[in-house]
Each structure stands twice: as C-alpha cells, then as structure tokens.
Amino acid sequence: MADKQPSAFRTTIGGQALIEGILMRGPDKQAIVVRSPEGLVIQEEPLKLIKDRYPILGWPLIRGSVTFLDSMVRGVKALMFSADYFPEEAGVEEPSKFEKWLDQKLGNEKMEKVVIGFSVVVAVCFSVGIFMLLPTFLASFVELVTDSVLVRNLVDAVLRIAIFMTYMIMVSRMKDIKRVFSYHGAEHKSIFCYERGLDLTVENVRKMPRHHPRCGTSFLMVVIIVAILVNTVVFALFPVKNVFLRMLVQLALLPLVVGITYEFNRYVGGHDNPVTNLLAKPGLWMQNFTTFEPDDSMMEVAIEALKRVIPQEAGKDRW
C-alpha cells in the first residue's frame, strides 16, 4: 500500500471506474470520459440532486441512503454509456423478441430508464442477499449445537466478512474487471494530485498513491462492519429466535446502517488524526483488491474527467 501523504485540502469530488473510462462527479456537474477505439468520448451534464427539491432528504442519517441510491443509478447509467463504446465480440446475438417488443412499446429513453431501474434493483437485492441475509441464514445452523446468541452473532459476523472478501478477491482476478480496477486507481491518483495542488499531468499523477480514504469501496466494507455492530446490539437487546424474522429485521435496519456508515465516512474523510486514520485502515486495506496501478492512457482519461468537474468558484468543492 502506498504511504498516505498530507494533502493540501480535501475535495468532495469523487468518481467511479467504467469500462475503459471514468465517471467524475463534482459539486455542480458530472463528466464521463471513455477511451473508445476512435479516441476520447466525453459527456457532461449538470447535477440535479433530489435533496435540492426535498431538503429533508439531505438530513443526517437520511441522506446516506438517498446518496447511495442516487450514486447507483448514475453509476449504472454511466456504465451503460461506456459499454456502448466497448468493442463488441464477433457473433453477438441479435436482440431477443422481448427486447424488440420493449423497445417498440417504450422507446429508447423509457427503455433505458427501465433497464437502469431493473439493474439497480437487481444489484441491491444481490448485495443484500449475498452479504447480509445469506450469512444470517447459514449462522442459524449454529443453533443446532448451541443456544448462545453471542456465538451465533460471532459466526454471522465471520461469515459476512469471509463471503464479502472472497467475492471481492475472486472478482479482482478477472481480466476485464482488473482493467476496470486500474481505472479506479487512476481516479484516486488524479484526485490526490488535485488535492495537493499539483498540476494535473500524467507525470504528477503517476507519483500519487492509489489508495484513497474517501473511496466508495471503503463505504461497502464499512457497511458490512456497521451492520454487524448494529445487528449485534439490536438482537442482544431484543432476541429474535426465528431466522426469517431476523432477516426481516435486518432489512428494516438497512437504511439506518447505510445512514450511519455515510456519516461515519464523512467524519473520517474530513479529519486527519490518529483515531480517524486508524478507523480508515479497513477501507484502505480493502482497496488492495479494488484498485490497481493504471497505465498512462488511463491517467489521461482520469485527468480529463477531473478537469471538467472542478468548480470555477475556488473552494466550492472543499470537504
């Protein structure tokens, strides 16, 4: 892991790796930059946040879930955009009759919204099912051996972390995903370069660490840990023997877990002291599997995306 160096300031600008590209999001707008076979493809759009229309959605603990869902929707949309410029393999099948029917009935724009919405729902259900509910179900078999709530919660916690880590390590070894994770590294390095007040050049970006304390991957890791702590406390105070009822309670607690995690990450990301640096360690360690060193072309994409979302008003993106 690269050593963490002191930064000139902390920016709220963040990004997401795409297929041969990067989505960068600033305080006023977002930019998608994709390296297609014909060259760089760029899309910019102003940010319209739902919390601006409904201020209550920007309140602490509530804003975590809202921000998470908003980021997922924008992320899926950006991935679909980048996939359009990814070279297709020979022998790609024609659209199915169902796909043609949907396109005919809904049109391209509505079809896109349906696909994005469906993708987000599937992604959330998969994540919650695999990393939250499955460990609880498997841990319930401990009750065949012991009635200890402590032992059951401990097994549940170990299974959650083990399943999550196994999944991330396996995914990181896939060739195409490894390339996406290299763009993830380019995103982090370019933001570090910007935060330290250096010129956004490939030479300067190359020297930066690829592990960033305010990464979204860290958020996922912390969600797992916070969920373990919240569930342990709740089920210790209000024991629930039925495993399916426990799973239902966990689903009900999920918005609170995401809200706590969001506020935790905001606090840790905005402070630099021994305590917050220690709290950031699990997320930074996790980035060993979700970020890789980028090549120069990837850093060029990250620089281009970052430049396009830096606000004209100095300090507007300060953390």
- Does residue 278 have a pLDDT over 70? yes
- Does residue 293 have a pLDDT over 70? yes
Q: What is the mean pLDDT of residues 232-261?
A: 93
C-alpha angle 224/24/66, rounded to 5°? 45
Q: How far is residue 92's CA from residue 90's CA, in Å, rounded to a whole number?
A: 6
pLDDT of residue 279: 82
- Considering the domain boundaries, does residue 133 fall inside one? yes
Q: What is the mean pLDDT of residues 45-67?
A: 89
pLDDT of residue 99: 52
Q: How far is residue 53's CA from residue 55's CA, in Å, rounded to a whole number?
A: 6
Question: pLDDT tier at 272 (50, 70, 90 boundaries)?
Answer: confident
- Considering the domain boundaries, does residue 108 fall inside one? yes
- Considering the domain boundaries, does residue 91 fall inside one? no
Q: What is the mean pLDDT of residues 4-14?
A: 73
pLDDT of residue 282: 84
C-alpha angle 31/37/43, rounded to 5°? 15
Instruction: Give the distance, in angstroms, between the CA of residue 132 and the centroid of all CA atoms in the same chain.
Output: 17
Q: Are 217 and 286 in contact (CB under 8 A)?
A: yes
- Does residue 102 have a pLDDT over 60? no
- Considering the domain boundaries, does residue 313 fall inside one? no
Higher pLDDT, 52 or 46: 46
Q: What is the mean pLDDT of residues 93-114?
A: 58
Q: What is the mean pLDDT of residues 282-294?
A: 91
Question: pLDDT tier at 123 (50, 70, 90 boundaries)?
Answer: confident
- Does residue 112 have a pLDDT over 90? no
Question: pLDDT tier at 91 (50, 70, 90 boundaries)?
Answer: very low
Supply 37's token pair: 């076979």
Phi, psi at residue 281, to the nearest 5°? -60, -45
pLDDT of residue 270: 78
How many domains is the chain built from?
A: 1
Q: How far is residue 143's CA from residue 249's CA, in Å, rounded to a whole number?
A: 19
- Return mean pLDDT, the chain: 87
Percent of the chain at pLDDT above 90? 58
- Does residue 2 have a pLDDT over 60? no
- Considering the domain boundaries, does residue 6 fall inside one? no
Q: Are 193 and 208 in contact (CB under 8 A)?
A: yes
- Does residue 5 have a pLDDT over 60? no
Distances (CA, A) of 111 to 83, 98, 104, 105, 294: 16, 12, 9, 9, 34
Helical packing angle, 97-128 and 62-83, nearest 10°: 140
- Does residue 263 have a pLDDT over 50? yes
- Considering the domain boundaries, does residue 4 fall inside one? no
Q: Write out the DSSP string of 246-268.
A: HHHHHHHHHHHHHHHHHHHHHHH
Span 129-188, pLDDT tens digits: 999 999 999 999 999 999 888 899 999 999 999 999 999 999 998 988 999 999 999 999
Domain that holds residue 252: 14-86+96-307
Q: pTM of the predicted model, to two decimals?
A: 0.85
- Considering the domain boundaries, does residue 79 fall inside one? yes
Highest mean pLDDT among 86-90, 110-114, 122-126, 185-189: 185-189
Q: Name, in order, each residue with C-beta under 8 angstroms of 235's C-beta and a sequence gap of 6 or more.
A: 149, 153, 246, 249
